A = this chain, B = another copy of it.
Amino acid sequence: MSRSKKGDRLERELVNMFDDEGFASIRIPASGGATKRELPDILAGDGNNTYAIEAKGRKDGPIYLDWKEIMDLLVFSNRMGVKARIGARYNREDWRFYHPAELYITDSCSRRVDYESDVEHETFEDLISGDGL
């Protein structure tokens, strides 16, 4: 499965999970915004909590997000007044959600999601219940 098809599948999976929990949720197309700025992959909200999510999947190993990707997510989320999260999904593991500012910063100023590390994260149930970070 190509990387983009896998990305589509993961985004659909997450949107469906939110939908099943009574959230309104959408996948945002790359070309959907007013600016050239990159947009988050997903918006989901239930009136109590609204999340802007950058969804990443990998078979294993660390996931890298470059500086601009994180900055764009934070700028968008701060403007709209929603909560920014990085959603990480490893093969056969449950989704984990990270606050962008909590991620490990590499030497090149990108951020790293490392499954093995003990960086604090939320589960999908944490997001649904709003009992998160």
Contact = CB atoms under 8 A, between A and B. Distances in A.
A114 interface: no
- Counting every copy of the chain, the complex holds 2
Nearest to A44: B80
Contacts of A10: none
A19 B34 contact: yes
Contact of A79 (B22, B27, B76): B22
A82 B45 CA distance: 9
Nearest to A18: B34
A81 B49 CA distance: 9
Interface of A: 12, 15-16, 18-19, 22-29, 32-35, 39, 43-48, 50, 76-82
